[in-house]
Amino acid sequence: MKIEGVLVPLITPFKDGMVDLKSYERMVNHYVEEGVSGIIPLATTGESPTILSDEYEKVLAKTIEYNNRRVPIYVGLGGNDTSEVVKKLKVAEKHNVEGILSVAPYYSRPNQRGLYEHFKCISEATDLDMILYNIPYRTGTNIENDTIYRLAELKNIIGIKDCSGSMKQTTELLLDPPKDFSILTGEDAYFYTTLILGGQGGIMGSAHLKTKEFIDV
């Protein structure tokens, strides 16, 4: 089943250097009650590159508790060390999440074969659904459409958060999408354009504000 609608990549609130779970609970309840199609904890918006491992699991467990099965959860889980990402899958699999949002490896700048093998290895290591995250202006490498088509053939890679930075690449993907594959923009300004061209929705930081307006588009 395709992922559709507005998904919010949750921030991780802190107070006095500690995760502020009271505020986090209010936040989860707020966005679920606003009517979002899903929530994404511990992605880059949620401080995943700098959050401690024990904080990661605590936030994930509390997300499950506060959500109480109301909307799908896709947890941020990516990196440039494939074996470490695979190990971290065990943390996600212990909890009741639908899947993961996995960013392209950063800094090391793999070629297209390297990108394919990285995501293929993660896919084969889990039964969780996977959403790819392509944001080359932060990672240093672009997941090209030909690679996306190949990855979409794998059993559990079901969509992409598209921040390619190229409207040409995005448009070509939207006009010729892989079968049963969700194309979700991560470029907030392209949300309406993505929907017009056949995309399924967006994973957008700006949906933290005026969430209803995004949902009602």
Residues identified as active-site:
133, 161
- Nearest in space to 214 (alpha carbons), one of 66, 182, 195: 195
Instruction: Report the half-sphere exposure of 76 (CA within 13 A, side-chain side).
Output: 28
Rounded Cα gap, residues 30 and 90, in angstroms: 29
Largest CA distance in the chain: 48
Task: Tell me the torsion sign for CA atoms 55, 60, 65, 71.
Answer: positive
Q: What is the DSSP string of 141-184?
A: ----HHHHHHHHTSTTEEEEEE--S-HHHHHHHHHSPPTT-EEE
